[in-house]
Amino acid sequence: MSTFLSYALPGIPFGCTYAIVAMGLVLTYRTTGVFNFGFGAQAFVSAYLYTVLTENGVPVGLACVLSVLVLAPVLGGVLDRFLFRRIAPTNTTAKVVSAVAVSVALPELVNLVFGSATRFAPPTLFLDPGRVYLHVGATPVNGLELETVLVSAGVVVVLSALLGASRLGLTIRAAVESPRLLELEGIRADRVLLAAWMGSSVMAGLAGVLLAPQYPTLQSNDYAVLLVAALAAAALGNLADIPLALVGGIVLGVVEGLAAGYFSPTSVWHTGLLPAIPFLLLALLLVGRRKMRALEENEDPLAGCDPPPPPSITLTRSHELDRVIKVGGRILAVAAVLSVLTWVPGDWGFALTAGLVYSIIFLSITLITGLGGEVSLCQATFAGVGAFAAAQLAVHQGLPILLGAVVGAVVAAGVGAIGALPALRLRGLPLALLTLALALLADNAVFPYSWAGGPPVGLVVPRPVIGSLNLATTSTKGFFVLVLVVLVLCAAGVKLVQRSTVGLYLEALRASPVGAESLGINPSVAKVLVFALSAGLAGLGGALYASLQQTVTPADFNYELSLVFVVVVVTTGVRTIEGAIQAGIGFTVLQQLLSYLPGRWGSGGIAIVLFAFGALTYAAHPEGVVEYEKRVWTERAERLLRRDQPPHDGLVIATSTVGALEHPGADDG
């Protein structure tokens, strides 16, 4: 029994760190309707300021006030004003993607502004970290641990009081569901939401400052890891119950403490299971709990007040312009290909080839998010499955890499299909969280094994040999042509699926699942199919990526990459094939251009920041930046072409068409 306690008790303060983040997540979700993947990043920003201030001799109290009560709410207010307020309350995809964008952009932004010099742990808030204040049984409790437990207890009391009984809680819940409907009651919904963002951001700041002293150095990654671990604790409270999130955090900490204690450090359980516990728990909760499924069942009662989304500009632009653009586009593409094969320098050739490979991976997002309507946060994991399968087969079985890539794609498709099975009843946010859990499971419990992700130093992956043509020896040009051919085939395949009957079913399911099912469309088959196809494409792209790099390590396809992928593609345009290709090429070209900049500005981080800023426009233009810009420029060109003719469709369209706007949105929940 005493052994049990000695393993379990240290888990409690550790669990409380999870709990503080989990309670913050629940608070943000309940008060703003956004599941804030950026919570860890916000905590990191406050912790950073706190650390810098205390390093420079600012007293702890003042530093704490500045970073928790000043910086954090200002940051929250900025996020609300410029990002989240522009998103319709029912647009789950936009909310998930924007929050993910915040989570990847904020730490990179801090690095850009302050540089990446190592910052050491700042002082604790009020208790001495080294001193043992009391003993529970035989287990000593130091100041750091006691502080964490005390603050957790305080937070749960304050939040429960604030949200539980009062009219404030009711108003906030109403504002989250439909700000406009609340305004009809004479209440300023924008103020309510601003206050909610500022309040929950204070919580993020507090978490950041409180947890910073626990790590020897200050790193954004620690906060990201904490965030994903806290997901499980938050899920235990159905993402809605703050005291349950506290319990969830503590349970998680204790289970980890027990597992660490009882499993021998050399056993497979210790290396494989232990780091995966939070994600396994998260996956089980998402799949098993009925309440989680209902999380996103929400529709805006006043959706009829919004203008309908404009049709794709490629469908409405004039015939002449359409022809000019198509011919011009082809000439440009041929010129680009010829340039790469002739005068373009090697590093640019490599970057463009990588861009094409990324485009193949990004097409998988066009399928799953654009056509299937679901956000997947494990596309890099699928790419990794393909890459590792191809690499292992090439290295150990001597299989030609191209054949290996095909096998890798099939394996990834299989993993995708199996991964879809537990997700059959999930949509929206819970599904996105489940894919994140799968990605983290793979990162922690599958890829680190040498039979899967290879040894830590990496696997050497060959370039393809086609007949007597060795693509490794002919620089990247031969490989460029190969990848181009594969990309064209993949794009054609995606187009075929988009235009097929299954594509029609998927569009129907995305628009109205209830309506689609009432016609005889099987939603389960559709979901498995789209996951398998998407994973297969990502796997193929991953294998080609490994072959391009000629080496692959277990950490090459981690979950953060999945987050970046989604942000990049959704920003550019998730509904069209052009969107994916422009995202792929834009992503690498931007990084290549930035490499000319000096110092820290030359790192890849700024590319991520730029795309994340692109996500700001995404909130206002969900069709994607490319599609939006296309519309703007097409309209300009058409005005120019028709300067002396009356506009062919100006403001007024037959009034009868407006009838559609006279009744609430035609989608049923």
Among 177, 225, 481, 484, binds other proteins (CB under 8 A): 177
Among 52, 174, 259, 274, binds other proteins (CB under 8 A): 174
Tell me whether residue 56 or residue 501 sits nearer to other proteins (CB atom): 501
Contacts of other proteins in 228-287 (CB under 8 A) = none
Tell me whether residue 483 or residue 521 sits nearer to other proteins (CB atom): 521
- Residue 470 parent element (H or E): strand 469-470
**Amino acid present at 92:** T
DSSP 142: E
Tell me whether residue 371 or residue 609 sits nearer to other proteins (CB atom): 371
60 three-class SS: helix
- Taking residue 518's Cβ as centre, other Cβ atoms within 10 Å add up to 10
499 is a contact residue toward other proteins (CB under 8 A): yes
400 is a contact residue toward other proteins (CB under 8 A): no
Among 128, 629, 635, 667, binds other proteins (CB under 8 A): 667
492 is a contact residue toward other proteins (CB under 8 A): no
Among 137, 308, 346, 455, binds other proteins (CB under 8 A): 308
Quote the least distance from Cβ 435 to other proteins, whole Å: 22
DSSP 217: B
* 518 to 547: interface string for other proteins, x by CB under 8 A: xxxxxx-xx--x------------------
Among 304, 422, 448, 602, binds other proteins (CB under 8 A): 304
Non-local CB neighbours of 93 within 8 Å, separated by 6+ positions? 369, 373, 375, 428, 570, 622
Tell me whether residue 151 or residue 292 sits nearer to other proteins (CB atom): 292
Nearest CA to 21 among 262, 257, 210? 210
Tell me whether residue 181 or residue 321 sits nearer to other proteins (CB atom): 181
466 is a contact residue toward other proteins (CB under 8 A): no
HSE, CB side, 13 Å, CA atoms: give it for residue 242: 23
Scanning 11-19, 78-86, 114-122, 303-311 for contacts with other proteins by CB under 8 A, the matching segment is: 303-311
For 394-428, b/e burial (b = at least 16 CB within 10 A) is: bbeeebebbebbbbbbbbbbebbbebbebbeebbb
489 is a contact residue toward other proteins (CB under 8 A): no
Total of residues contacting other proteins (CB under 8 A): 78
Tell me whether residue 317 or residue 463 sits nearer to other proteins (CB atom): 317
Scanning 115-123, 297-305, 463-471, 596-604 for contacts with other proteins by CB under 8 A, the matching segment is: 297-305
183 is a contact residue toward other proteins (CB under 8 A): yes
CA distances from 322 to 123, 421, 559, 577 (A): 63, 42, 40, 17
Inter-residue contact 21 to 43 (CB < 8 Å): yes
646 is a contact residue toward other proteins (CB under 8 A): no
**Amino acid present at 313:** I
178 is a contact residue toward other proteins (CB under 8 A): yes
Contacts of other proteins in 50-109 (CB under 8 A) = none
Tokens of 8: 């379990």
311 is a contact residue toward other proteins (CB under 8 A): yes
301 is a contact residue toward other proteins (CB under 8 A): yes
Give the integer Cα–Cα distance in Å for 25 and 550. 40
Scanning 292-300, 440-448, 548-556, 564-572 for contacts with other proteins by CB under 8 A, the matching segment is: 292-300
Give the integer Cα–Cα distance in Å for 283 and 76. 29
Among 91, 116, 160, 171, binds other proteins (CB under 8 A): 171
Nearest CA to 424 among 534, 297, 531? 531
Tokens of 650: 């100006």
Scanning 155-163, 279-287, 363-371, 512-520 for contacts with other proteins by CB under 8 A, the matching segment is: 512-520
Inter-residue contact 606 to 594 (CB < 8 Å): yes
Tell me whether residue 422 or residue 602 sits nearer to other proteins (CB atom): 422
189 is a contact residue toward other proteins (CB under 8 A): yes
Quote the least distance from Cβ 496 to other proteins, whole Å: 6
Nearest CA to 208 among 52, 29, 32? 52
Task: Give the position of tokens 């516990």.
Answer: 277
Tell me whether residue 132 or residue 666 sits nearer to other proteins (CB atom): 666
Scanning 75-83, 128-136, 201-209, 656-664 for contacts with other proteins by CB under 8 A, the matching segment is: 656-664
Tell me whether residue 140 or residue 503 sits nearer to other proteins (CB atom): 503
Quote the least distance from Cβ 174 to other proteins, whole Å: 5
Tokens of 156: 């749960």
Tell me whether residue 294 or residue 460 sits nearer to other proteins (CB atom): 294
306 is a contact residue toward other proteins (CB under 8 A): yes
Quote the least distance from Cβ 216 to other proteins, whole Å: 44
Orientation angle between helical segments 189-211 and 72-82, nearest 10 degrees: 140
Scanning 264-272, 283-291, 437-445, 650-658 for contacts with other proteins by CB under 8 A, the matching segment is: 650-658
| 507: alpha, beta or left? (left if phi > 0; alpha if psi -120 to 50) | alpha
Scanning 93-101, 174-182, 206-214, 377-385 for contacts with other proteins by CB under 8 A, the matching segment is: 174-182
- Strand stretches in 182-304, DSSP E: none
Among 470, 500, 550, 595, binds other proteins (CB under 8 A): 500
496 is a contact residue toward other proteins (CB under 8 A): yes
466 three-class SS: strand
597 is a contact residue toward other proteins (CB under 8 A): no
421 is a contact residue toward other proteins (CB under 8 A): no
DSSP 464: P
Scanning 78-86, 295-303, 370-378, 618-626 for contacts with other proteins by CB under 8 A, the matching segment is: 295-303
Among 338, 488, 593, 660, binds other proteins (CB under 8 A): 660
Non-local CB neighbours of 597 within 8 Å, separated by 6+ positions? 606
**Is residue 321 exposed (0-12), middle (13-18) or buried (19+ Cβ within 10 Å)?**
middle
Task: Give the position of tokens 């008790």.
Answer: 9
- Taking residue 599's Cβ as centre, other Cβ atoms within 10 Å add up to 7
Tell me whether residue 216 or residue 310 sits nearer to other proteins (CB atom): 310
- Residue 245 parent element (H or E): helix 242-262
Among 85, 180, 270, 289, binds other proteins (CB under 8 A): 180
305 is a contact residue toward other proteins (CB under 8 A): yes
CA distances from 187 to 151, 181, 197 (A): 33, 9, 17
Quote the least distance from Cβ 492 to other proteins, whole Å: 11
Inter-residue contact 376 to 368 (CB < 8 Å): yes
Orientation angle between helical segments 143-164 and 167-177, nearest 10 degrees: 80
